[in-house]
Structure 1
Amino acid sequence: WYLKNSPSRLAILLGIKAKQLEEVVYHASYIVTDAGTAPLSKKQILSEQDYSALTEEYGSRFTALTGAEAVKKLLQELDLDKEVKSLRKKLKTSSKQKRDRIIKRLEVVEAFNNSDNKPEWMVMDVIPVIPPDLRPMVALDGRRLATTDLNDLYRRILNRNNRLKKQKEQMAPRLITKNEKRMLQEAVDALFDNAKRGKKAAVERNRHLKSLSDMLRGKQGRFRQNLLGKRVDYSGRSVIIVGPDLEMYQCGIPREMAIILFKPFVLRELQKLTGNDANSKKNANSKYERMDDDVWAALEKVVREHPVLLNRAPTLHRLGIQAFEPKLIDGKAIRLHPLVTPAFNADFDGDQMAVHVPLSNEAQAEARLLMLASNNILNPKDGKPVVTPSQDMVLGNYYLTIEERKDRVFTGFRAEERQAEYDFKNRNEGHFFSNFDEAYLAYQHQEIGLHTRIIVDPKSINQKFSEEQKNKYLVTTLGKLIFNRILPPTFPYLNEPSLVNLENVTPDKYFFAKGTNPKEFMKNMELPAPFKKKFLAQIIAQVFKDLQISETSKMLDRLKDLGFKYSTVAGITVSFADINVYSKKSERIDLTNSNIADITGWYEDGMLTDKERRDLVIKEWQTARDDIQKGLMAEFDKDNNIYMMSDSGARGNASNFAQLAGMRGLMNNPKGEIIEVPVQASFREGLTVSEFFISTHGARKGSTDTALKTAESGYLTRRLVDVSQDVIVVDEDCGTERGVYMEPVMDDTKEIVPLYDRIVGRFASKDVINPKTKQVIAKRNELITEELGQAIIKAEVTGVEIRSNLTCNSDNGVCAKCYGRNLATNKRVEVGEAVGVVAAQSIGEPGTQLTMRTFHTGGVASASDITQGLPRIQELFEARNPKGKAVISEVDGKVKSIDRQRGGISVVTITDAHDKDYKYTMDPNVEALFRKGASVKAGQRLTLGSINPKELLRVVSAEAAEMYILEEVQKVYRAQGVEISDKHIELIIRQMLRRISIVTEGDTELLPGTEVSVAEFKRVNKEAFRAMKRPAVGRPILLGITRASLRSDSFLSAASFQETTRILTDAAIRGKTDELHGLKENVIIGGLIPAGTGILRESSFSYDRSNTYTEEEELEF
């Protein structure tokens, strides 16, 4: 490790080149250990020939040795204190290149000096052999033995060592013993690390033997396989099926599975039955073996209050494991509540899930309080409900809330039958009913339909109305009356899918005064739209905001039952007759073809280049497809089954329709370029052979992309978790004065993300003042609630400075005020919340939805070739040099001149306030973003493309780089319609900037050019100030997430991530201690993690076992 790992610690310490040192160790050359009177210098390297010649000439007047003994002798002779002094002295006077070398050497020398490790300990005289249990031998049938690779490696060392001993006894020639020594050295190398040496030790068929280092390394190594992940008892797995009759907090567990999972609890219950005497254990066991009736009764009793955990792999975020109360069922499949499937990303097409039983009382309490499915309604990534109804449930509620008017005329397919049925259903439109029961009775007698508009007295409905409305009549439908019965009584009556109706009260336009002619009133009234998926999600969010969690889960269950019932009543299905080809399709295609003929004509006349022609043709076809899609959607009947599925949000979208009944349009080839021949047919008409072939490209690329994307996205999540796992909420308030200024996100003039969404749930860093009245809306350090957020928007405040994770002063974590609200509970975040892991999961989980491809317009690269999707996220988080990098200005100033040079390259000169000129060269293919005489700011883009955040950090400030990364990451996710709260991305960026590069050391012990953590830098400078010394000066450096994890202060965390051997080598030399601040380190040593309930154990809580409480007191406690 110390010789081969780069940088080679031995070589640095001795001040010799690594290659030369290796030659000495492998007996290929000699090193002078004592020059004596010969004209040589100490540590000079001699080849075999030189050594022979010098020995003949000078005899024993000098000493030169070879092999490990030479290295050991030199290491013993090192005086570390003297080395440190001389190196520090040299450091002040040397040139830049030499400085770097000296700093490297000084780091290693100081590490040894400070850690009480002796350098000669890097050379081993004896090799310990690990215990036989760790390297077992197993007898196979046929008298053969299977053994671990380690045994082979140890055997090689023993054989060579014994042979060397014999040779020494027999006074063998030097050449032979030297060769044996070299082989021994190689055998030892192979034992410690078989991957490093050129010739790897291998058995037959070229399989490399697994060395000690290999046992630590990688996914199958000691760290990741055994320390961070373990197999558990009391678990089972089975296929999942839907359980529509379950409550939110229940799951169905097969009896055969439960009887084994709960075996110890069942046995304890049986022992109680048979009386706790000596035989009871035996009796209980035999009953269990026979599966008596008592056993099943005991199981029912045990299961009643005992939650189990369900997990579906891949567990992408914390909602991938949730607790449920088991309900025993027949059969062999686990039953799952249909509403929790989105959180697990599960479906019922053969997915499997694993069940785990929490054993201890504490584990059961945590499962019940923190992990129960009915408590996990909000998604931690954006604070929106994750349990939104889908598919049939959406469709049923959509169907239920449709409204129909009497005077509709049908045309087309089966027009007469449909007209007769419709008129019969709605013949009693405008009928008055005094209450719900009366209307429902009329429906059962087929006097009215679910969608017929009827008139009801608002006083008979148990919902919120204004006093004025209670004295009028309400126009609604029976379907809406049924739907509103599932809502809490404190809610307004929902008659249209609008936020006004949801948050305040039913709009007045649906009410008329007594004495008005209802038929006349209804004639002029427009029909409200049915309730779609998006509106259902808003209802759930509103219920959650106003009421308790338990109430929300009950409401969700009622919504589910209603949806299933009425999607069945609706009998909506798909028929071939529902899909009609767009009537004006051929006209539109003819028009496009004639336009393309014109374009080709211009190209042949030399008025267009080939690229321009291609772009125009592609644009023509894209417009044609969009027009056909719009026309098709307009032609659809509102009660067409397929249209209803799509419009409600249950399944399908406009683009699917365009492909079914319009035209498929342009396809991509495997490179991601657009093929300019479109597929003109729709699936309804059927594709020709050539069209089918063109569309296969995209289909195959889609499949391969999905597979690649999953792995890429999983690896991204792993790196994110690793860099942020030690960020925990450590205190209530860090007392910082700084904040981050938040404004709405704009795209040109359109507002994409309103200010309200960015500030609600955060703390104000300064007073928010109404610009008109100058009154304070929100005080400094006050939580901006929904009400305050609305007040801020109403006052037309353009931006708010909020507390942010980026500016938090807490060491080893963040404080509750800088983090803001916990999105999963909608309450203030508690101390001990593992916000780092939540942040990493929130960013990684939607990663699979991002696209892999970089879009090409084909042919010449243009600014639109900027990386997007997953590769762009990686580029940002790894702080790489971006593809299609923009040139940025380094100063504030004016554009003085633009000089075009040969090859179309232009040189731009910018003059700053002190009349100093800065020149930038630009590629001719890239669009410039300025004119001559324009003012530019430092960090402003001069060309299209992505900015390199490291340049932004150097030119402007850390804040600018942080905000740029935040903005860009959000852009990628927004493009895919994924919402993630800013605070999660801020946490990751904070971790990327947690190291500081020392510029000048002042009077501290830090070395210039080295990196330290922000916390360490603060500590050293604090000490310097106390002692009235000069502090060190440093500048923040931006590290990619992989490098940031490897530079973690905890060596256990870093070693379990990547580059295990290098990190352990470094930790050993420095004699590092791990403070165990993060989660990973504690998992590795098997302790409680310092987060959540684990933090309570560590702090002021002490267990007093002497006091016994009654059960009531305990529950209360």
Structure 2
Amino acid sequence: MEKETNFKGLRIAIASPEEILSWSHGEVTKPETINYRTQRPEKDGLFSERIFGPTKDWECYCGKYRKVRYKGVVCDKCGVEVTRSVVRRDRMGHIKLASPVVHPWFLRSAPSRIGLAINESLVRLERVTYHAAYIVTSVDEEKRSVALSEIDREFKTKKQSGENADGELKAAAVLTKETLRDLRPGKILEEREFLSLAKRFGNVFTIGSGGEGIRKVLGSVDMGKSITEIEKELKYTEDETETKKLLRRLKFFKSMKASEIRPEWMTISILPVLPPDLRPMVPLDGGRYATSDLNDLYRRVINRNNRLKKLLELGAPDVIVVNEKRMLQEAVDALIDSGTRAGAKSAGGFKKPLRSLADMLKGKQGRFRQNLLGKRVDYSGRSVIVVGPDLKLDECGLPKRMALELFRPFVVSQVMKRELAHNIRNSNRLIDQAPPEVWEILEEVIKDRYVLLNRAPTLHRLGIQAFKPILTEDLAIQIPPFVCTGFNADFDGDQMAVHVPLSDEAQEEAGRLMISSANLLKPASGEAITYPTQDVVLGCYYLTKINTRGIGAGKIFSGADEAKLAYESGYIDINSPIKVRKLETTCGRLLFNEAFPEGFDFINDTLNRKALTKLVGVLIDKYGQEKTKPILDNIKFLGFRYASRSGISWSIGDLVTPKEKPLILEEASKEAALVDDQYMNGFLTEGEQRARIIEVWLSALQKITKLVPNSIGEDNHVYKVVDSGARGSWAQPIQMMGMKGLVANPNNEMISLPIKSSLKEGHSGLEYFISTHGARKGMTDTALKTAEAGYLTRRLIVATQDIIIKEEDCKTKSGISIYRIDGADFGHSFASKLYSRPALEDIKVNR
């Protein structure tokens, strides 16, 4: 094959047998690979040096010619060309098949390309391919005319002699004539049909089966004539389905004609053999080999092909030959694409399906997505992530040892510059010893440099962000807590990969575009995605909440400094309501407002998670992302400090079951019993009874849900954690203190038997087993939905990848209606729904 490096595009077309032979450097006739005694490739086998080139550079198989001076010489003894061994990645071989086989891609693709050429269905073509039916390859028109005349003569003779009823005789004659007229090349006949026709009209037509029969029919197709006939048919066809079918065939024939491809090339008579270095055999300990699945598949094809050749030479009975042809077809199917036909997957020694050529190309692990689109990089590391509460938003903690490996080339350069070592080998030895000078150099090297952190799965842009590395003594990577939302990271064992941008341009781009402080907004909606969560939320909530019973409540101070001094001296609590001049506030709120720049409005509210997220959005709008970064760092430090000082934590004693619960359960049980009685007396159907009982227990759960927050009070630590939005929602405390309620079974139907106990009280045996349904379902749903969502995203990207949005308003005449009530149910504001959408019509104010 000629090598062409300067090209703009690729066109994939069907190769003719002659073209496949032009690629080939010889025919592979033996299924052997490597000789177990000599450990050298077998002659004319799948790894033959004569066909594919030498295994050692500039040396033939027998050793007669060695060294580069014999370049290009073909050894007269072993027939191997003296050249580089790398040619074993390029040189192809071929297998000449004893009987043509059908290419599975052209047979089974939707729609079947061979089906379009012959105008037959895939199911019937498959029967022909595997020798279960026959296909007419040619019809002798003269003999058909003679046969039709004979039928007429026979009908007249029988009519005159008075045989059978006149009507039956005529019908039989008409049917026979129609069957004979219908015969055409490409017509598929079942065995019974063929036998009945062959008895009387065997000389009129010839038939074939398998790849051989299909190849003959495809070879007789005149594409120009077919195009003319289809165009003529289209003029008179009114049926929509038939029109679609004809248009599909017309498009197929026109494409084939334009590409100068013959239909018979969709069958294989010469099978190309992949270069051996693309399907290697790797020696293992103990004299065994790890081999590519393709070698097993090729071996099977060669064995069956050689056996078929022998059977044909011996003139074996048709039954045996046909069976061998079928087996050859199946072997080629398994080699090219094992997934196209049910039951076609070939299994290896351990019953594991072998990977065909198509399997190696397609999918996530295929050649394109894994090796060509997915790049492997140097200078990357991987470790578990932990929180770095002291890190700034654009910093990450990098283990010293990992950093030393990642930045080794830069450190080597500096070691040689400082003459601590005089060559690369000695520099590497010194780095491995890690004296203080090396750590000093590393500190200098990483100064003003960025690293990229990536957490898989990278579902959006924020899955990879740049950070300034800070060296740590730990073995884990530290990340600032506020970037967790963008990465969708948590600290339960998640891992991240570190990459080093090597060039100055890459470093500049990382610091300008990918740095975490420049990615505070969610690309999907433009909302803030870098905001306080969990401990920081709890700290800010504690800092800004008012406790009317606190020490020094109601005191008045002349200024903020005086109020802070009073707090530090223990005269007031941090949450006690106080007056600073005319402003009614708390010391905590004064401290919180110090995080913001001068001129920012004083925040005098209790801040929960929602309020803090909204606040970050306001800050970005007002100051931009760069100036918001230090404010977020200030909020984080305050949040962590006061979350620790608050001492908020809770035990089982903080979980208080509502006193009214037994009464509510008793009432619900009575109602449920009443519904059961009505069902038993025939007043309700089974479906109605089930729905009523579910309604009763849902009502009971709602009553208990309302009671749970009131039963613990605002001072309870559980209340503070949930109310602040730091962790969880009321759904969890309700199950802990109230009742678990109704759960769904695997079919997503409510189980009418409720779990009356709370988690604090403990479940009974039956309740425990009912609740296991939900746990199991939750885990399976998560796994299934992840894969489903991933595939949907991929399809959306493939469908829309060439669309570029250039205009803010597309000027469409059909808009969408947005109702205030829709968003309110899910906690979305009406304004956020309208934001950034152009109005369909002009909005008139004060009219």
Structure 2 distance, partners of 1:237, 1:256, is: 12
Q: CA 1:754–1:532 in 2, change beyond 3 Å: closer, same or farther? A: closer
Q: Which residue of 2 aligns with 1:445?
A: 569
Other-structure match for 1:398 = 541
CA shift at 1:260, angstroms? 1.0
Counterpart residue type for residue 264 of structure 1:
P
Q: In the TM superposition, what whole-angstrom CA distance separates every residue of 1:93-116 from its partner, at most 9, and x where no partner exists?
A: 135254344233223212212333
Residue 764 (structure 1) shift: 4.2
Distance 1:115 1:641 in 2: 76
Give CA deviations for 1:406-465 in whole Å, capped at 9, x if unaligned. xx5xxxxxxxxxxxxx5xx22xx44333332222222222122212333324xxxxxxxx
1:518-547 Cα shifts (integer Å, max 9, x gaps): xxxxxxxxxxxx222211112111111100
Structure 1: distance between partners of 2:530 and 2:282: 52
1:169 and 1:239 map into 2 onto residues whose CA distance is 67
CA deviation after TM superposition for structure 1 residue 361, in Å = 3.2
Indicate the residue corresponding to 1:131 in structure 2: 275
Work out which of the residue numbers 189, 194, 206 in structure 1 matches 2:333: 189
Which of 295, 312, 318 pairs up with 2:438?
295
User: Match for residue 527 of structure 2?
Assistant: 384
The equivalent of 1:5 in structure 2 is: 109
2:660 matched residue in structure 1: 584
Distance in 1, Cα, partners of 2:589 & 2:683:
62
Residues 511-522 of structure 1 correspond to what in structure 2 (within 5 A)? Answer: none
Q: Give me the whole-angstrom Cα distance separating, in 2, the residues matched to 1:90 and 1:325.
A: 71
Instruction: Find the aligned partners of 2:299 and 2:115 in 1 and give their Cα distance.
Output: 30
- 2:237 corresponds, among 76, 91, 94, to 94
User: 1:305 — aligned with what?
Assistant: 448
- Deviations along 1:247-306, whole A, 9 cap, x unmatched? 100100101111111222222333433399xx5445434433443444323322221222
User: Could you say if the C-alpha distance between residues 371 and 173 of structure 1 is closer, same or farther in structure 2, counting changes exceeding 3 Å?
Assistant: same
Instruction: Find the counterpart in structure 2 of residue 435 from structure 1.
Output: 559
Which residue of 2 is the match for residue 759 of structure 1?
834
- Identity in percent: 44
Q: 1:141 aligns with which of 285, 300, 303?
A: 285
Is contact 1:32–1:46 with CA below 8 Å preserved after alignment? no
Give the counterpart letter for 1:116 in structure 2: E
CA contact (8 A) 1:137 1:148 kept: yes
Match of 1:324 among 442, 467, 482: 467
Which one-letter code corresponds to 1:444 in the other structure?
A: E
Aligned-pair distance for 1:88?
0.8
Aligned residues: 702
Partner of 1:475: 584
Note if contact 1:274-1:284 (Cα within 8 Å) is conserved in structure 2: no
**Aligned counterparts of 2:139 and 2:835: Cα–Cα separation in 1:** 74
Runs of at least 5 residues in structure 2 that lack an aligned partner in the other structure: 1-104, 145-179
| CA apart distance, 1:181 | 5.0
Map Cα deviations across residues 790-823 of structure 1 (whole Å, 9 max, x no partner). xxxxxxxxxxxxxxxxxxxxxxxxxxxxxxxxxx
Q: Which residue of 2 aligns with 1:494?
A: 603
Q: Which residue of structure 1 lines up, in the alignment, with residue 623 of structure 2? A: 547
Opposite residue 628 of structure 1, the aligned amino acid is I
Task: Please name the residue that 1:657 is paired with.
Answer: 733
Residue 38 (1) aligns with residue 183 (2) = no
How far does residue 328 in structure 1 lie from its aligned partner after superposition? 0.9
Q: Is 1:746 the counterpart of 2:826 in the alignment? A: no
Deviation at 1:491, TM superposition (A): 1.5
Alignment partner, residue 403 of structure 2? 258
Distance 1:87 1:286, change over 3 A: same
- Residues 1:455 and 2:564 aligned together: no
Q: Note the C-alpha offset of 1:641.
A: 1.9
State the distance in 1 between where 2:394 and 2:208 align. 75
Q: Is the deviation greater in 568-577 or in 37-46? A: 37-46
Gaps in structure 1 of 5+ consecutive residues: 409-421, 458-472, 497-529, 773-1117
Counterpart of 1:128 in 2: which secondary structure?
Answer: strand
Of 709, 713, 735, the residue aligned with 1:633 is 709
Contact kept? 1:36, 1:63, Cα under 8 Å: no
Alpha-carbon distance in structure 2 between the residues aligned to 1:748 and 1:35? 76
749-758 vs 576-585, which deviates more? 749-758
Contact 1:322–1:372, Cα closer than 8 Å, also in 2: yes
**What secondary structure is seen at the aligned counterpart in 2 of 1:265?**
helix
Tell me the SS of whatever aligns to 1:384: coil
- Find the counterpart in structure 1 of residue 699 from structure 2: 623
Secondary structure at 1:354's aligned position in 2? strand
| Cα distance change on mapping 1:53 and 1:437 into 2, 3 Å | closer
State the alpha-carbon separation in 1 of the partners of residues 827 and 481 from structure 2. Answer: 33
User: What residue in structure 2 maps to residue 1041 of structure 1?
Assistant: none
Residues 173-212 of structure 1 mapped to structure 2, 5 A cutoff = 181=325, 183-196=327-340, 201-212=346-357
Larger radius of gyration: 2
Q: Deviation at 1:373?
A: 1.2
Tell me which of 484, 499, 502 is aligned to 2:593. Answer: 484
Amino acid at match of 1:32: T
Task: Give the letter for the 2:115 counterpart.
Answer: A
Aligned residue for 1:770?
845
Aligned residues of 2:396 and 2:480 also touching (Cα < 8 A):
yes
CA contact (8 A) 2:304 2:327 kept: yes
Distance 1:233 1:390 in 2: 35
CA distance in 1 between partners of 2:791 and 2:299 (Å): 39
Q: Does 1:232 align with 2:363?
A: no
Code of the aligned partner of 2:833: R
- Asked if the contact 1:312/1:354 (under 8 Å) is kept, the reply is yes
Cα distance in 2 for partners of 1:70, 1:262 equals 65
- CA distance in structure 2 between the partners assigned to 1:636 and 1:535 by the alignment: 24
* 2:75 alignment partner in structure 1: none
Query: Which one of the candidate residues 277, 295, 310 is aligned to 1:151?
Result: 295
Match of 1:1104 in 2: none
Distance change in 2, residues 1:628/1:453 (3 Å): same
Q: Partner of 1:121 in structure 2?
A: 265
Distance 1:20 1:604 in 2: 58
CA–CA distance in structure 2, aligned partners of residues 3 and 564 of structure 1? 66
What does residue 254 of structure 2 align with? Answer: 110
Structure 1 Cα separation of the partners of residues 655 and 742 of structure 2: 21
- The answer to whether the 8 Å contact 1:377/1:385 transfers is yes
Describe the SS at the equivalent of 2:268.
coil
User: Which residue does 2:224 correspond to in 1?
Assistant: 81
- Amino acid corresponding to residue 482 of structure 1 in structure 2: L
* Residue 748 (structure 1) shift: 12
Q: Secondary structure at the match of 2:792?
A: helix
Q: Which moved more, 1:155-164 or 1:538-547?
A: 155-164
Deviation, 1:562, is 0.7
Map 1:710-725 → 2, pairs under 5 A:
710-725=786-801
Deviation at 1:766, TM superposition (A): 4.6
| Structure 1 pair 439–65 and aligned structure 2 pair: CA distance change class (3 A) | closer
* 1:560 partnered with 2:636: yes
Three-state SS of the structure 2 residue aligned to 1:246 is coil
Greater shift, 331-340 or 171-180, is seen at 171-180
**Matched AA of 2:116:** I
Distance 1:691 1:187, change over 3 A: closer
Instruction: Tell me the amino acid that sits aligned with residue 367 of structure 2.
Output: R
Residues 823 and 830 of structure 2 are in contact (CA less than 8 Å); yes or no, is this contact kept in structure 1? no
CA distance, structure 2, for counterparts of residue 246 and residue 345 of structure 1: 18
Task: Classify 1:269/1:763 alpha carbon distance in 2 versus 1 (closer, same or farther; 3 Å).
Answer: farther
* TM-score (ref. length: structure 2): 0.74
Over 3 Å counting, the alpha-carbon distance change for 1:732 and 1:66 in structure 2 is same
- Residue 341 of structure 1: aligned partner: 484
Q: Name the CA shift for 1:447/1:58 in 2 (closer, same or farther; >3 Å).
A: closer
Measured in 1, the distance between the counterparts of 2:691 and 2:523 equals 43
